[in-house]
Amino acid sequence: MTLVELPRIDPAWADLVANASEATAFHHPAWSRVLSDAYGFSTVALAEPGLAAGVLLARVPRLRGRAWVSLPFSDHCPPLARDAASLQRLADGLGDWAAREGAAVEVRGSLPSGAWTETPIGVRYVLSLSDDLEGLRMGLSETHRRWLRQGERAGLEVRFGRSAEDLADFYRLHVATRRRQGVPVQPRQFFDAVRRNLLSPGHGVVALVSPRGGTPVAAAVVFAWNGTAIGKYQASDPGSWNLRPNHLLYWAVIRWAREAGCARFDFGRTEARHAGLQQWKAGWGAEAIPLSYAHIGAGAATGDRGALGAALGHVIRRSPAIVCRSLGALLYRYAA
């Protein structure tokens, strides 16, 4: 089956996205512009001939060659379909398309069985926002409620913004957090593209927690569109963890998402090896949803950093922050 290639601004694709409840900010054209502005990745929409199912793909470099990914740096960007039969036609057609292209294809979501291999990646934790605030608070674990009360009594304040200064405050914490974790950090130009294309038009926000009148000690970048808020990036200063700024931060962004009209809050991808992080997200009352990616060809993402990643982490943790930033500028596009 031959798929139809659509521009991202094509009315047929826009109609499919607008009527798909599972579409998130990762399906919005603004996210594709972020990927193009920051890394030069161009995005194409492929649809089955009836235009009732489609998928976004971007061609990205990998250390073992190029691949098509739906979509780079997106935790969950599944194909969109009006019904199961349309999704099956899309899966079959996309398999044929990959064979003709002679390239690996990785879909950040599930596809019907056939030529596709499903790789378990981890878990998504998704919190329904249908309850009122008191109900949401009561849905927290006892530990989370206790630490949230501690954060509320600690003299911290939360602010929301979308300015370059707000993003700079987040990025300072983000670089320090990634260095502590031993992983390269995204280039600053990536977050400039996020602010320009997503935050400034109102498809997200930066949340910051500070001592009153002081420097932020915790921050998050949240995407929000089509009823789903996504806690995409979060960072904090471990020297302030005794004040529980992260609990205050996440409670604030959950409240913000609900007030913005979102029906759910997605805590994002958590890999299987991060049991402690899974427990932390579950403590907010969120539902655990298994996350798998479908792929054809070599180069599937598995969430396993391997020996090279471990060695790189050792270097980053013991080097100045500029090393973390430099390695990110050099290598991050290959982790798309």
pLDDT tens digits, one per residue of 319-328: 777 877 877 7
Confidence grade of residue 251 (pLDDT, cut at 50, 70, 90)? very high
**pLDDT at residue number 300:** 52
**pLDDT at residue number 297:** 82
Q: What average pLDDT does this structure show over 93-113? A: 91
Q: Which residue has the higher pLDDT, 113 or 27?
A: 27
Q: What contacts 39, CB < 8 A, 6 or more positions away?
A: 60, 72, 190, 333, 336
Give, as one character, the DSSP assignment of residue 173: H
Percentage of residues in the chain having pLDDT higher than 90: 74
pLDDT surpassing 80 at residue 143: yes
Q: What average pLDDT does this structure show over 229-244? A: 97
Q: Which residue has the higher pLDDT, 282 or 272?
A: 282
How many CB atoms within 10 Å of residue 236?
20
Q: What contacts 301, CB < 8 A, 6 or more positions away?
A: 106, 119, 121, 293
Confidence grade of residue 11 (pLDDT, cut at 50, 70, 90)? confident
Confidence grade of residue 191 (pLDDT, cut at 50, 70, 90)? very high
Cα 143 from Cα 156, distance rounded (Å): 19
Element at 161 (helix H, strand E): strand 156-161
pLDDT surpassing 60 at residue 161: yes
Cα 336 from Cα 332, distance rounded (Å): 7
Confidence grade of residue 311 (pLDDT, cut at 50, 70, 90)? low
CB of 174 closer than 8 Å to CB of 185: yes
What domains sit in the chain, N to C, each tagged with a CATH number? 4-121+294-304 (3.40.630.30), 131-262+321-335 (3.40.630.30)
The answer to whether the predicted template modeling score (pTM) of the entire model surpasses 0.85 is: yes
Confidence grade of residue 301 (pLDDT, cut at 50, 70, 90)? low
CB of 105 closer than 8 Å to CB of 297: yes
